[in-house]
Amino acid sequence: MTDPWITGCNKKNMPKTELALVTENKKEKMQMKQEISLLNGISLIVGNMIGSGIFVSPKGVLMYSTSYGLSLLLWALGGIFSLFGALCYAELGTSIVKSGASYAYILEAFGGFIAFIRLWSSLLIIEPTTQAVIAITFANYIVQPIFPFCEPPYGAVRLIAAACICSLTFINCVNVKWGTRVQDLFTYAKVMALIMVIAVGLYKISQGETENLKDPFEGSTTDAGFIALALYSALFSYSGWDTLNFVTEEMKNPERNLPLSIAISMPVVTIIYLLTNVAYYVVLDMPALLASDAVAVTFGNEALSHAKWIIPIAVAMSCYGGLNSSIIAASRLFYVGAREGHLPESLSLIHIKRFTPVPALIFNGLMTLIYLLVEDVFLLINYYCFSYWFFVGLSIAGLIYLRYTQPARQRPIKLSLFFPVVYCFCTVFLIIIPLYSDTINSLIGIGIAVSGIPAYFLGVYLPVEKRPRYLQWLFATITKYIQMLFRCCQEDLDLETETSEAKAK
């Protein structure tokens, strides 16, 4: 990044105590540490994929497929398709060992402009909206038992959601290990809750209660449009398989642990989804399923008797764990974007003792808190379906492109081109669906992405001397005070470069 943006990061501007700490830590590289193990990686992927959706609203697939048999087939198909994408990301993540997932891969394959638009879409709509919705869902399930017969107070829900966001932001600022331990704990809790649901379903089947599963394909829709929408719903439930690619640089032995985490997580989640839906179908008939706003709670009321209180707690814990993994991923995205010069340099600073991206985490938390103020925040999700699938598909298209433009690149994992080609072909279909079924919201999402063009022109494309001086001064001042307030500095790479320049003089 250019000098006016980083004056606050120079060692000469550091307070002496902080400079002493940096010097003391010189033996230990001033970089985020590789502290994410194989088990942590599996927890991150499983924890982000299994959000509140499988507990609250898995009925989208059933609603469009109109039969149990076809819906289960589409759930399995969604798992296989997501596995294709995850395998492609295993190759990308081991050949481009950078955090940032699709942003980093698009940057490597197609350059800065498209990567910036992807980052801009995430910053303005995708990440803060997703996190705000998860936090509100968490708060609703915490407050609901207190108000069993009426809507919980709007203010109470938003305050609890804000507390949830702030607590997880603080945990991840303090220590990467704290964040991964929270993730491990809540992933185990939600998986155990789903295993309990599955066990009840299998017990019912063993007792011969299979009336709902007789003629499972009876009434299946033959409308291609409805089948497409059902598959789309299933695929959205599998989103999150790219979570680990956002933190590749912090993994222990990423060449081994990244693909292994993906290979273990994807089948586990697919099997859990299939068996959980079978359990729902055994206990609840189709009208009850389609009428329920919280399928797992309805299931608990029918099948768990005095233990039905477990389900709301499991949903809340699932939301908390899912939000934690989303915060970890989003903060690394903003951190890498700033490091590449696409966001203000202050977001690329790390704490001088804890080696966590504190400014990026706090920025992500503030953006999410702002979106909590939007009353209809759930509607904002509709704006980014098009953008989400477009950029995921584009990053995997980058795999094919790099095969031909950089054939000599080291690739610890090298897939058959069958996988990325099939995935890209299917992604075209996933991009067309929201344009066809939700045209207005999709166009708004495209408009949000395109609004990044002026920002790219002013902050990245223009030479330094032609950029607005007040912006340069503003970002340099912010960087300086963020460094002092949060005790942060740039990565070791920048410090070493500065030392080399000083010696050369």
CB-CB contact of 296 with 314 (8 Å): yes
Greater confidence (386 vs 401) lies with 401
% of the chain with per-residue pLDDT over 90? 49
Share of the chain above pLDDT 70, in %: 91
Q: Exposure of 19 by Cβ count < 10 A (0-12 exposed, 13-18 middle, 19+ buried)?
A: middle
pLDDT over 80 at 189, yes or no: yes
Distance CA 359, CA 79 (A): 36
Query: Region 10-35: what's the mean pLDDT?
Result: 60
Q: What is the pLDDT of residue 327?
A: 95
385-415: b (≥16 Cβ within 10 Å) or e: bbbbbbbbbbbbbbbbebbeeeeeeebebeb
Question: What value does the mean pLDDT take over residues 223-252?
Answer: 87
Q: What is the mean pLDDT of the chain?
A: 85
Q: How confident is the model over 440-462, as a mean pLDDT?
A: 89
Per the listing, tokens 């081991």 go with 94
Least trusted range by pLDDT, from 11-20, 117-126, 278-287:
11-20
**SS3 readout for 448-500:** HHHCHHHHHHHHHHCCHHHCCHHHHHHHHHHHHHHHHHHCEECCHHHHHHHHH
The closest of 86, 66, 54 to 273, measured between CA atoms, is 54
- Count CA atoms closer than 13 A to 336's CA, side-chain side: 30
pLDDT of residue 114: 95
- Span 264-268, mean pLDDT? 94
Over residues 476-499, the pLDDT tens digits come to: 898 899 988 888 888 765 433 343
| pLDDT greater at residue 98 or residue 210 | 98
Instruction: Provide the pLDDT confidence category of residue 192 given band limits of 50, 70 and 90.
Output: very high
Label the pairing between strands 488-489 and 350-351.
antiparallel
Confidence band, pLDDT 50/70/90 cuts, at residue 502: very low
Specify the pLDDT at position 7. 42
For residues 260 and 22, the answer to whether their CB atoms sit within 8 Å is no
pLDDT (mean) for 295-324: 86
Closest alpha carbon to 326 in 174, 168, 181: 168
At residue 57, the pLDDT reads: 66
The whole-number pLDDT of residue 343 equals 93
Distance CA 61, CA 63 (A): 6
Rounded Cα–Cα distance for residues 209 and 355 (Å) = 55
The model's pLDDT over 328-362, given as tens digits with 9 standing for 90+, comes to 999 999 999 999 999 998 999 998 888 899 999 99
Cβ 137 vs Cβ 333: under 8 Å: no
Q: pLDDT tens digit string along 132-141?
A: 989 998 998 8
For residue range 96-129, list pLDDT tens digits in order: 999 999 999 999 999 999 999 999 999 998 899 9
Q: Which residues pair with 251 in a beta bridge?
A: 36
